[in-house]
Structures are given as structure tokens and as C-alpha cells.
Amino acid sequence: AQKITQTQPGMFVQEKEAVTLDCTYDTSDQSYGLFWYKQPSSGEMIFLIYQGSYDEQNATEGRYSLNFQKARKSANLVISASQLGDSAMYFCAMREGGGKLIFGQGTELSVKP
């Protein structure tokens, strides 16, 4: 069965430093997609970054990058130069057949001034 695991319930990072949020996945499919979403305290789901299983290069979007290690089945999110506004819940998700997303349990990131 397909599964997403986020092993860090909470993380702290100092403002302006980089932070890595871990995500591992399990699937027998050859074609899949991996996503990261941000959920601030206001509750909305904000798309951050996407990595396709056949993409050879790691995805990047501004301060966000996805460290994709296919053999290890990991898709860690790296946030560079953390800002106070980055404090939120972060969810890793995997797309399976039909476009459905399977979510991890999330990591709560707190950025300290």
C-alpha cells in the first residue's frame, strides 16, 4: 500500500537559517508525483513544490527545493533563509492513480526570531 511518512512532528529553526523537513514514501508504482503543501494557522492549503518520479533534477521554487532521492524513497523539503512567515504545518503528499493524494501527518515548523 502506498504511504507517506513524516517523522518530525515539530521543528524549530532560527530566522535566516535553512531547514530540512523529512519525507519518505512507499509505492510500487513507477510513475508518481510528490508534493509539498504549507498550511498556516489560517487553515488554507498552499502548494509549494512538485517533483515527478521521472524528473532527473531536483525541483526548486524560490526558497524551496525538494531533495529527491529515488533509491531511498525520500523527498525532503529544504527551505533556505527561513522567515517568520514560514511558521506553519508542512505536509508531504504523493499522487497515486486517478490523481488522488495521500498525505503524511505533517511537520509543524516554528521559526524563531
Partner 1 sequence: NAGVTQTPKFQVLKTGQSMTLQCAQDMNHNSMYWYRQDPGMGLRLIYYSASEGTTDKGEVPNGYNVSRLNKREFSLRLESAAPSQTSVYFCASSAVGPGEQFFGPGTRLTVL
Beta bridge partners of 14: 112
Q: Does 61 bind partner 1 (CB under 8 A)?
A: no
- Indicate the residue among 16 and 100 with the shorter CB distance to partner 1: 100
Q: How far is CA 113 from the centre of its chain?
A: 23
With CA atoms as reference, report the closest residue to 80 among 34, 45, 111. 111
> How far is 35 from 45, CA to CA, in rounded Å?
12
Site string for partner 1, 66-105 (x = CB under 8 A): -------------------------x-x-x--xxxxxxxx
> How far is 20 from 78, CA to CA, in rounded Å?
4
- Indicate the residue among 35 and 68 with the shorter CB distance to partner 1: 35
Which residues bind to partner 1, rule: CB under 8 A?
A: 4, 33, 35, 37, 43-45, 47, 50, 52, 91, 93, 95, 98-106
